[in-house]
């Protein structure tokens, strides 16, 4: 009788633990949103235009690394990101999507300045209900005027780079003991201009770990992994 009672208690504890894990797993939320109507959509027959952020939306916490690894000691760090990181990023995006009509804005409409498209701000809710994210869209009239009103826009609203503080250029952060890494965080909005609706929105991030020292190859790897992360999350391109 005593053995059976102990066995029953053990079963109850195990069952409760599994229920707790199950409940926790069921409430996990992604930090981004893929709109329900586009979860199984196929946008590969649409023209897709990628818009990269302005300089003031390229945030670099580790500016010294930019000059060390990408050169241009007398250039703005943001210009090095444009010259090297963004081409690596775009070429990987283009290679991974199903779409054959995939362009940067200045390729699709050469000489078109971003500020000529106007701006409207929208707020979309994702993840934490207390932390909605604001996004900037071109004005619909401007899109029509420049023949962009039937495109799908992939807007990189903001991108931030940072490297954790590693000890003596070794392989771990002195306080957290985490591996040394370069982190890239992007705020992404995919907008269906034809239907005037969001396809995808939210933050995505990627880390590249390294040992001893960070080099140009780690920036390139970061760009390619971030692009891959975006394509995998959006799914319908």
Which CATH number fits the domain that encloses residue 146?
Answer: 3.40.50
| Calpha distance 121→193 (Å, rounded) | 15
| Mean pLDDT of the 207-223 span | 90
CA angle 184, 190, 196 (to 5 degrees): 155
On whether both 22 and 61 belong to a single domain, the answer is: no
Most confident listed range (106-110, 188-192, 205-209): 188-192
On whether both 17 and 58 belong to a single domain, the answer is: no
On whether both 74 and 24 belong to a single domain, the answer is: no
| Calpha distance 111→81 (Å, rounded) | 20
On whether both 25 and 135 belong to a single domain, the answer is: no
On whether both 90 and 199 belong to a single domain, the answer is: yes
Which H or E run includes 155? strand 152-163
pLDDT digits 0-9 by tens, 138-175: 999 999 999 999 999 999 999 999 988 665 555 555 56
Rounded to the nearest 5 percent, the helix, strand and coil shares of the chain are 40, 25, 35
Residue ranges making up the domain that contains 6: 1-29
Report how many domains make up the chain.
2
Inform me whether the pLDDT recorded for 98 exceeds 50: yes
On whether both 139 and 213 belong to a single domain, the answer is: yes
Predicted model pTM: 0.81
What's 173's DSSP letter?
B
Inform me whether the pLDDT recorded for 24 exceeds 60: no
- Please report the pLDDT score of residue 153 as a whole number: 96
On whether both 19 and 76 belong to a single domain, the answer is: no
Helices 216-234 and 63-70 cross at an angle (nearest 10°) of 110
Task: Provide the CB-side half-sphere exposure for 59 (13 A, CA).
Answer: 12
H helices within the chain, ranges in order? 2-26, 63-70, 77-80, 86-96, 105-108, 140-145, 216-234
Alpha carbon 193 to its chain centroid, in Å, reads 20
Q: Dihedral through CA 88, CA 90, CA 94, CA 100, nearest 10?
A: -140
């Amino acid at each position: 009788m005593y053995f059976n009672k102990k066995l029953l208690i053990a079963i109850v504890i195990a069952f409760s633990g599994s229920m707790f894990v199950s409940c926790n797993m069921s409430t996990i939320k992604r930090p981004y949103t893929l709109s329900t109507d586009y979860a199984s959509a196929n946008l590969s027959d649409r023209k897709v235009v990628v818009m990269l952020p302005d300089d003031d939306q390229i945030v670099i916490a580790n500016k010294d690394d930019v000059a060390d690894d990408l050169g241009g000691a007398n250039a703005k760090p943001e210009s090095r990101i444009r010259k090297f990181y963004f081409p690596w990023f775009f070429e990987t995006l283009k290679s991974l999507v199903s779409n054959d009509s995939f362009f940067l804005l200045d390729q699709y409409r050469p000489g078109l300045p971003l500020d000529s498209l106007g701006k409207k701000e929208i707020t979309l809710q994702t993840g934490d209900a207390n932390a909605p994210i604001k996004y900037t869209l071109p004005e619909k009239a401007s899109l029509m005027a420049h023949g962009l009103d039937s495109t799908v826009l992939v807007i990189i609203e903001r991108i931030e780079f940072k490297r954790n503080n590693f000890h003596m250029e070794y392989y771990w952060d002195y306080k957290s003991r985490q591996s040394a890494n370069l982190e890239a965080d992007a705020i992404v909005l995919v907008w269906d201009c034809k239907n005037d609706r969001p396809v995808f929105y939210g933050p995505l991030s990627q880390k590249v770990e390294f040992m001893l020292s960070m080099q140009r190859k780690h920036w390139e790897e970061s760009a390619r992994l971030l692009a891959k992360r975006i394509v995998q999350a959006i799914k319908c391109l």
